[in-house]
Amino acid sequence: MEALDQLSKKLDTLLKKHAATEAENKRLKDTVAAQEKSVATLQKKLASLEQGMVSVHLGKTTNNQEEKDNMREQLDSVITEIDKILNTLND
């Protein structure tokens, strides 16, 4: 009888661990989905900025250094955000 009680306790422990693991798995999947959505948004923003940069270069014959610096800063910040999100996805 004692063996059955021990077996029952071990089974309860395993079931609790399994439930906790399932909950963590769901939470992690939700986190990954949110980060993937964020990456997609940032990639769209990057594409838009790149298109704007091309338009600026095609529309102007003179090179304005201040405008170049602004565009470069915007692109750097978007790329930095994408890198951060990709790093968290890899963790």
Tokens matching residue 4:
């059955």
Phi–psi pair at 45, nearest 5 degrees? -65, -40
What's the rounded Cα separation, in Å, for the pair 43 and 62? 29
Higher pLDDT, 46 or 21: 21
Higher pLDDT, 35 or 69: 35
Q: Residue 30 pLDDT more than 90? A: yes
User: pLDDT tens, 52-90?
Assistant: 777 766 656 445 777 778 878 888 888 888 888 888 887
Which residues have CB under 8 Å from 81's CB, separation 6+?
42
State residue 63's pLDDT score: 58
Higher pLDDT, 49 or 23: 23
State the sign of the Cα–Cα–Cα–Cα dihedral 19, 22, 24, 30.
negative
State residue 56's pLDDT score: 67
In eight-state DSSP terms, residue 56 is H
Q: Kindly state the percentage of the chain with pLDDT values over 70.
A: 89
Q: Which domain holds residue 78?
A: 2-90
pTM exceeds 0.75: no
Total domains in the chain come to 1
